[in-house]
Amino acid sequence: MLPPETVLSAAVRPTAMNDLPLILASKSQARRAMLAAAGITAEAIAPNVDEDALKEGLKSEGVTARNLADALAEAKAVRLSRRVGAGLVLGADQILAMDDGVMLDKPVDPADAIAHLKLLSGRKHKLFSAAVIAEQGTPVWRHIDIATLSVRPLSDAFIEQYVEAEWDNIRHCVGCYEIEGRGAQLFSAIDGSQFTIMGLPLLHLLDYLRIRGILTS
């Protein structure tokens, strides 16, 4: 079982290397925007990982939502790191788990989004946001953050109006919401970092980049 806290490989402790490029193993606009807003320059490259096949295989083995998020983030980071060679490659993933353990994927169409929101209505769910950095094909840092969100009871009319208005924004979002936008209307309570909800444990990542000398302490 993975430990709950941030993990640093012994291989990353000795030397700060502020000339190493940071590469994001994702085309996620939200994660790219978070990094840019925090003053981090990172090239974004698709990792070419078959996420669906990997996810289904791990689910069939009974992997928990937390460990599933971690495994997917690692797969992206390691796969791309082996391809590009030098640099720190950041992989990230997010898994939504209901209070009964059921995991939801991104909606495939508006009807699927409506079904997801009806399932989420009036219930709590957790978001597990994992980040892994690989260097020369080996994971050297990882962190998993958890946010707990309480969805207020949603009327069918609200859900239908919301999906119609927001579909282009939420089609790539697990849970069918952007917390920084109209998705805030879904919730009665939130326990956790907004960065975690948006898909990246950003503050812990910044700590690691300071350790490596990529950011000034």
What residues make up the domain containing 155?
20-211
**Contact (Cβ atoms closer than 8 angstroms) between residue 88 and residue 214:** yes
Residue 14 lies in a domain: no
Q: 4: exposed, middle or buried (C-beta count within 10 Å: 0-12, 13-18, 19+)?
A: exposed
The pLDDT tens digits for 45-81 are 989 888 888 888 998 899 999 999 999 999 999 999 9
- Write the Ramachandran bin of 137: left for phi over 0, alpha for psi from -120 to 50, otherwise beta: left
Please check the confidence at residue 14 and state whether its pLDDT lies above 50.
no
Domain count, the chain: 1
Report yes or no on 204 lying in a domain. yes
CATH of the domain at 95: 3.90.950.10
Structural domain includes residue 131: yes
The stretch 131-139 carries a mean pLDDT of 96
Nearest-angstrom CA–CA distance, 18 and 214:
4
SS3 (DSSP) at 198? helix
Q: What average pLDDT does this structure show over 126-137? A: 96
Amino acid at 178: E
- Residue 7, domain member (yes or no): no
13 part of a folded domain: no
Q: Mean pLDDT over residues 171-196, rounded?
A: 95
Does a structural domain hold residue 186?
A: yes
- The answer to whether residues 77 and 91 touch, using CB atoms and an 8 Å cutoff, is yes
pTM of the model: 0.88
Rounded to an integer, the average pLDDT of 123-141 is 97
pLDDT digits (tens, 9 = 90+) for 150-166: 999 999 999 999 999 99
List residues with catalytic annotation.
93
CA pair distance 4, 150, nearest whole angstrom: 23
Helix (H) or strand (E) segment spanning residue 19: none
- From the list 160, 39, 49, 174, the residue with the least C-alpha distance to 102 is 174
**pLDDT digits 0-9 by tens, 86-123:** 899 999 999 999 999 999 999 999 999 999 999 999 99
